[in-house]
Structure 1
Amino acid sequence: MGLDRVNSVKQRLNLTKKFPIIIVGGTNGKGSTCAMLERVYSAAGYRVACYTSPHLLAYNERVRVAEKNASDQDLCSAFAAVEAARQDTELTYFEFATLAAYWHFTQSTIDIAVLEVGLGGRLDAVNVFDPDCTIVTSIDLDHMDFLGNNRESIAYEKAGIFRKGITAICGEPNPPHTLIEHAEKIQADLKLINQDFSFQSKGQSWIYSDLLEEVTDLPFPALAGDFQLYNAACVIAAVHAMQDQLFVPIDHIIEGLKTVGLAGRFQKFNQQRTVILDVAHNPHAAAGLALNLSQNACKGRTLGVFAMLADKDVSGVVEILNSKIDVWYLAGINQKRGATAQQLQAIVQEQSSSAEVHNFVDTTAAYRQACIDATENDRIVVFGSFFTVADVMRMLPSAS
């Protein structure tokens, strides 16, 4: 893996820089941070391009301009342009997709682009573009086959998006030394949370502060979870760093935080009973889900519809959420990497031999049975992967 192939096709496409770019990396929180940046800049009247991954229901979700998904026609035009330019150069799925998204952005009228790293950072296709600001949201163990089996290795890969003289924001409260050392080596303008900027919750509002100013009476983001304040603080730090290029008044920051939305992040649907969708697929994200479940108690039981990819830390996720789930509805994922319901059952019962477990061939069957079994006061939590959430989301009338 490397960036040479992507760079060569980028040059043939003549993808020159026409607008400011913010690149967002991290283990968890990337999607939320991109969504907040998109909403804040849109609230300020700017046309924002946003490239994220993966998608839930339609590929078009990955490529957005002015808060609207790219059309099929626009995407096909972008794909055709990349296909023609690549000649005999082989590209991965994500490399092809990234070049196509950026090509589409150059054909559109936009003021700023927000680009989400797919995996890691240093060798990610997004990293062929030069940012005006970078954010690393969090650092934890995930994608270890590619990034290394410890936080130090993973942090180094994520710090690969930093640039000399460019603001590099880190929202990880315990950053490994490798990230700090890399930033110092390349002379990036590193801003660390709890050191260069911070937040403080205060009743029904919160305070953001950095070395130059303090912003009080901020609303909590419209995304569930206290941990979202880490992401929101990174967003404000980035907006402040970019003020000379794109000025955003505080009123529009507030509006953006109040109105941001993101599918599949503790997303609630009120059917005959409460249904919660959460794409949590590693222990760090599972801890956030567990906290949200604790802070949003229900009168009845919590029924967990659970399916994961086998190459993820299934045991770590189960350990964190075991005490929060009263009944497990385990399912396989129709993907080559998917764990079977039987594999999940072995892990659940290894940690809790008395756990009530039901196995199903797929997520839709598991969800249907959970709906049958749930009483009025129960809630259903669907989690474990984007595939898991997407399968159930298609079954919900308000998501179709």
Structure 2
Amino acid sequence: MSDTSAMPLSVPSAHSPLNDWFTYLENLHTSAIDLGLERVQAVGDRAGLRKPAPTVITVAGTNGKGSTCAILESILLQAGYTVGVYSSPHLVRYNERVRVNGAELPDHEHSQAFAAVEAFRETTSLSFFEFGTLAALQLFKMHQVEVLVLEVGLGGRLDATNIVDHDVSVITSLAIDHVDWLGDDIEVIGYEKAGIFRADKPAICGQPNPPASVAAHADSIGAELYQVGYQYTYEQSGETWNWKCGAFDMEQLPLPALPLPNAATALMALGVAELDITDQHIVAGLAKVRLAGRMETVSDQPLILLDVAHNPHSAHYLARQLKALKNIREVGQIHGVVAMLKDKDIASTLDEMRAVINVWYPASLTGPRAASAQQLADHLNYSGQMFGEPVQAYQSALAAAQPEDVVIVFGSFHTVGEVSAHIQSTQE
């Protein structure tokens, strides 16, 4: 009987092209997502990566993680710190996941970091995300960042980022998402997100009226909980906003280009991080912050926007932003280019957008998690043209749009990533 077992994988070197490492990592583990800390923690211990920077802020949440991390990064850079940010997923290039002082790192540094993790891995099996997380920590350690901002990938308690000994924990928002992995019980989801809290360390919750499990877990381990609406508050006042924590009050702050609730949560995290940050650093950081794929403006006539909104909570916010556009400029029709993953709440997400989108361009994604354009059309009761990929849908919307119209591309990181890559290629 012939041996049908898989051939041993060829291990790339520190000098191998990054794509060789991707091929290797994609075949290294049996599943793309494997929640649990035992394996990744063991490798992290051997590599000395559990405390990769003097100050570490870990950010979890259903939505708003990327925005909160970007706001923290922008303010910290204004304060003169060497700052690392780890985020996922990427839009166009894997290198987007690791930033040092606001910049991506070159391919060869990622290959070197992957090789370093491989040397410490020994026989331990790691998922792509786990391996990538450890490699990112290696890069931050190599660059000697002073403050590290870690975005949780999925959940919190069992996410690979949670092996790090961090100083401040942040939950941006809580809603039902990733049902296959986290379930549909908001109390359970609250507990999973609160799993990043640390005993005797600050824990920030930016979700108004969160499930009781968040405060209960904080209390059970002795974390110092700072809850929006209680320990800190904020309000918009015309073209500025105010933030308050106890007797400390900041007024007439500039409105950031990212969601205000996330800015308020970021300020609370910085307020307890024991860092040297002034009001001037905060004002400058808020004014300058931007993040690709979050109400990202590509052109003005027609107004082309890219937003990774992919669940009801984020779609609700996006719809509000689009409605608000009508108060500041003359808006014609809104063309919606949408493609989604089938494990998302497609019906509720699209329902949030129905009232603002005039013309739909449903498209299919590729891969095992992809929803088809027909599935989206069925939820919309739509019988018009459908598209095999987001770029085709985007091109059709662009051809139909008048100068006063809006084209919004949304529904998934994959959707925005494909369209963003297409736009970049046409600009080169």
Return the TM-score normalized by structure 1: 0.95
Paired letter, 2:271: H
Residue in 2 aligned with 1:81? Answer: 116
Residue in 1 aligned with 2:225? Answer: 190
Gaps of 5+ in 2: 1-34
Contact 2:84–2:147 (CA under 8 A) maintained in structure 1: yes
Structure 2 CA distance for aligned equivalents of residues 238 and 357 of structure 1? 47
1:108 aligns with 2:125: no
> 1:356 offset after TM fit, Å?
6.5
Paired letter, 2:196: I
Contact 2:301–2:405 (CA under 8 A) maintained in structure 1: no
Structure 2 CA distance for aligned equivalents of residues 358 and 75 of structure 1? 42
Contact 2:50–2:165 (CA under 8 A) maintained in structure 1: no
Contact 1:152–1:176 (CA under 8 A) maintained in structure 2: yes
Select which of 257, 266, 270 maps to 1:222: 257
Residue in 2 aligned with 1:383? Answer: 410
Residue in 2 aligned with 1:291? Answer: 320
**Per-residue CA distance 1:244-281 (angstroms, 9 max, x = gap):** xx210110011000000100111112164111111000
Contact 2:325–2:331 (CA under 8 A) maintained in structure 1: no
Q: Percent identity?
A: 44
Structure 2 CA distance for aligned equivalents of residues 117 and 51 of structure 1? 9
Select which of 75, 79, 95 maps to 1:44: 79
> 1:357 offset after TM fit, Å?
3.2
Residue in 2 aligned with 1:239? Answer: 270
Residue in 1 aligned with 2:279? Answer: 250
Select which of 129, 139, 145 maps to 2:180: 145
Residue in 2 aligned with 1:158? Answer: 193
Structure 2 CA distance for aligned equivalents of residues 299 and 220 of structure 1? 22
Paired letter, 1:303: H
Structure 2 CA distance for aligned equivalents of residues 159 and 78 of structure 1? 30
Q: Secondary structure at the match of 2:243?
A: strand
1:3 aligns with 2:32: no
Structure 1 CA distance for aligned equivalents of residues 384 and 282 of structure 2? 45
Structure 2 CA distance for aligned equivalents of residues 392 and 115 of structure 1? 26
Structure 2 CA distance for aligned equivalents of residues 249 and 65 of structure 1? 22
Structure 1 CA distance for aligned equivalents of residues 126 and 247 of structure 2? 44
Residue in 2 aligned with 1:12? Answer: 46
Q: Secondary structure at the match of 1:396?
A: helix
Residue in 2 aligned with 1:66? Answer: 101
Residue in 2 aligned with 1:358? Answer: 385
Gaps of 5+ in 1: 350-354
Contact 1:328–1:356 (CA under 8 A) maintained in structure 2: no
Contact 1:78–1:103 (CA under 8 A) maintained in structure 2: yes
Structure 2 CA distance for aligned equivalents of residues 9 and 183 of structure 1? 28
Q: Secondary structure at the match of 2:355?
A: helix
Paired letter, 1:262: L
Counting only pairs closer than 5 Å after superposition, residues 249-288 of structure 1 correspond to structure 2 as: 249-270=278-299, 272-288=301-317
State how many pairs are aligned: 389
Paired letter, 1:384: G
Q: Secondary structure at the match of 1:312?
A: coil
**Per-residue CA distance 1:209-264 (angstroms, 9 max, x = gap):** 012411111111122xxxx2211111111111013xx2101100110000001001
Structure 2 CA distance for aligned equivalents of residues 149 and 399 of structure 1? 43
Paired letter, 2:408: V
Paired letter, 2:396: Q
Residue in 2 aligned with 1:315? Answer: 347
Return the TM-score normalized by structure 2: 0.89
Cα separation, partners in 2 of 1:77 and 1:320, compared to 1, 3 Å: same
Cα separation, partners in 2 of 1:179 and 1:280, compared to 1, 3 Å: same
Contact 2:155–2:192 (CA under 8 A) maintained in structure 1: yes
Structure 1 CA distance for aligned equivalents of residues 220 and 335 of structure 2? 49
Contact 2:312–2:349 (CA under 8 A) maintained in structure 1: yes
Q: Secondary structure at the match of 2:422?
A: coil
Structure 1 CA distance for aligned equivalents of residues 50 and 296 of structure 2? 38
Residue in 1 aligned with 2:335? Answer: 303
Q: Secondary structure at the match of 1:54?
A: coil
Structural RMSD (CA): 1.3
Counting only pairs closer than 5 Å after superposition, residues 323-338 of structure 1 correspond to structure 2 as: 323-338=355-370
Contact 2:337–2:362 (CA under 8 A) maintained in structure 1: yes
